[in-house]
Amino acid sequence: MLEIQRIREDKEAIAAALDKRNIDATETLNEILKADEERRKTQVELDNTLAESNKLAKEIGQLFREGKVEEANAAKARTADLKVKGKELNDALQIAEEKQRELIVSLPNTPHESVVKGAVAEDNVEVSREGDFPTLHANAKPHWELTSEYDLIDFELGVKVTGAGFPVYTNKGARLQRALINYFLDKNTSAGYREFIPPFFVNEDSGFGTGQLPDKEGQMYHMTEDNLYAIPTAEVPLTNMFRDEIVDEAALPIKCTAYTPCFRREAGSYGKDVRGLNRLHQFDKVEIVVLSKPEESYTRLDEMVEHVAGLLRDLKLPFRVLRLCGGDMGFTSALTYDFEVWSAAQERWLEVSSVSNFETFQANRLKLRYRDSDRKTQLCHTLNGSSLALPRIVAALLENHQDENGINIPEVLHTYTGFERIEK
């Protein structure tokens, strides 16, 4: 959530930044400032009313003691009028505050200066590319055929039990899934991330805190009876563990990691590009989250990007890193790097990770602050990244490492899987 003080001081700069997202925010920003002026005006009037009422309350007793009954009764009548006025002003203040809040939360984060204006994925900027594209044999198959042939994933059984987008992992497919989770967690903890197993459902305050609510795209699974939401990523519970907290400056950066299943409705996702593991309603992911001092957050972002790149190097997967354009970034992000791996059998890039800096946008919603050396509180910067999302990693591993007789497992996973190859 954008800070009101920043909107007061830098309205034009904010409007120019949001233009990179193809958003004309000028009218909304003007409405915010108008609502803010009304709110402040009402607050001053309310404060003056309460001050006068308190002053009269002290005077009434003294007037009675001095025998000035008529003046005392007049003061009591004035106090009663001020009480009514105070309630009216308080109601008006709440309305003004809510209007201002609704307007502010409707605006996304302002992009970092390095973000280019754009509307679609083709406008993203390729930052780097690593690894060689594998040369597959003539009868190479996409992962949805390999998983059936080698009894690794049963998509139809998932449809029977739940519905499309909820696969059942079987035999070595299940073991590969578990191996990847453990490998990613071990790499993360060895890099200084503290491991958690958070809840897989969150309340409304948590959904708002990290920016998933209001859910404009209707992508979250909502349990209406309990008003709980299935998490779309571990970022939500991990970051919300620090909601309404003031952390010590010496504790920063705070680095967290967790494995969770993730749940996304993926409304409106259809076609050949969502086949097999390419897009699911339930999938496994290992996440990293960092809380940082503002002046260090982009250094932390670079460290996270390099960490994710190291995982992909270990898995021998060719990948590229994209800096997302304004129109392709998430609502809360100031700067996002996407990692895509090359799927040799599908001959296309598959996104497997997003690493983002949200600057103060989430922290302002969360009221997440730290106390600096001057004992003043400041908003933290929050960051997160996938390290990694499993479905498309599994798809690329199976497709890129296949030969005519089986599928080779990357060496770094051998001690986790207990096998080096998957064969018929």
Confidence of residue 268 (pLDDT cuts 50, 70, 90): low
* Residue 352 parent element (H or E): strand 348-359
Binding-site sequence positions for ATP? 264-266, 351-354
Q: Is the pLDDT of residue 194 over 90?
A: yes
The label of the residue with tokens 């620090």 reads: 242
Confidence of residue 271 (pLDDT cuts 50, 70, 90): low
- Span 121-423 CATH architecture: 2-Layer Sandwich (3.30)
Q: Is the pLDDT of residue 3 over 80?
A: yes
* Residue 252 parent element (H or E): none
CATH for 4-105 is 1.10.287.40
Three-state secondary structure call for residue 283: strand
Q: Can you give the pLDDT at residue 150?
A: 97
CATH 3.30.930.10 intervals, the chain: 121-423
CATH 1.10.287.40 intervals, the chain: 4-105
Q: Can you give the pLDDT at residue 373?
A: 81
The region that residue 145 occupies, defined by phi over 0 for left and psi between -120 and 50 for alpha, beta otherwise, is alpha
Separation in Å, CA 126 to CA 42, 60, 318, 334, 357: 50, 74, 14, 17, 18
Binding-site sequence positions for L-serine? 233, 264, 287, 384
pTM for the model stands at 0.92
Adjacent-strand bridge partners of 284 = 261
Binding-site sequence positions? 233, 264-266, 287, 351-354, 384
For residues 64-75, one letter each, b for 16 or more C-beta atoms within 10 angstroms of the residue's C-beta and e for the rest, the string is: eeeeeeeebeeb
